[in-house]
Structure 1
């Protein structure tokens, strides 16, 4: 059983829904999964999760969503190395924009710099192609669960 913190980056709530779906599936598989809508530094670093699952949208010109930005900046400033943890990314965006899913990519890049291991390839959800991402997310969560 893995201890998983799900970090949500959202503006309109769709990434929150994806995160809640992921948490439900992971709990059903016996994992300790919790969703952090306004993730704080201590919840992520001091609480020592085994896995960080990032469910993030992209806003503006490829920025990290406002609710996730304070954590992103604090992690970047304090730079806590976390080599014993892993991470996975679900990034949402619209491929008609130049910076498709860039908000999630930025968070993943920072987590790599903090020495977290990427457990599975990221899942990129394109709003132009996928109106209901549930099937894609379900299959991806099964892949993640296999490596936990």
Structure 2
């Protein structure tokens, strides 16, 4: 089964993080692909499986342009995602403290609302922290892998 990393990005950082995750996953024996959200709709979840949402937060708490329609379709359609497991890697900037990492929060909430199972807690990267998002993505995906392997062994 392929791990699908669904990417909402405005400036490209989320896409870079997703590519780093794909590299780590493939090194560890997983099949993985990164997909820009503007290229599909909620039907991506139809067959179930493992998904990672990698999203930036744009402007004052908005989902990046290429993920807006996808998110809005999830909110309006409320598909049954009971065969989906997910995790969210959110990027944001605490300079916008009132709306910090809202896109990640929004995706986490709607996927849970639709019945998907959260694999690990949402990661929150802060561009203001000085840490590179892609470095955090590499570390975070290691934790996701450990949780997935532990779940499979149970």
What TM-score, normalized by structure 1, do the two folds share?
Answer: 0.91
Q: In the TM superposition, what whole-angstrom CA distance separates every residue of 1:16-70 from its partner, at most 9, and x where no partner exists?
A: 0001111111111111211111341265223x24111011011122011110111
Corresponding residue number in structure 2 for 1:103: 103
Higher helix share: 2
Q: What's the offset of the Cα at 1:135?
A: 3.0
Give the conservation status (yes or no) of the 8 Å contact 1:5–1:44. Answer: no
Q: What's the offset of the Cα at 1:3?
A: 2.4
Give the conservation status (yes or no) of the 8 Å contact 1:39–1:71. Answer: no
Give the conservation status (yes or no) of the 8 Å contact 2:6–2:52. Answer: yes
* Distance in 1, Cα, partners of 2:16 & 2:114: 27
SS in 2 for 1:68: helix
Corresponding residue number in structure 1 for 2:56: 57
* Distance in 1, Cα, partners of 2:59 & 2:42: 28
What TM-score, normalized by structure 2, do the two folds share?
Answer: 0.88
Give the conservation status (yes or no) of the 8 Å contact 2:25–2:31. Answer: yes
Q: Any gaps of 5 or more consecutive residues in structure 1? A: none
Corresponding residue number in structure 2 for 1:78: 77
Q: What's the offset of the Cα at 1:77?
A: 1.7
Corresponding residue number in structure 1 for 2:151: none
Q: Are 2:7 and 1:5 equivalent residues in the alignment? A: no
Give the conservation status (yes or no) of the 8 Å contact 1:89–1:108. Answer: yes
Corresponding residue number in structure 2 for 1:24: 23
Matches within 5 A, 1:43-54: 44-46=44-46, 48-54=47-53
| Aligned positions, number | 146
RMSD: 1.5
CA distance change for structure 1 residues 130 and 55 in 2, over 3 Å: closer, same or farther? farther
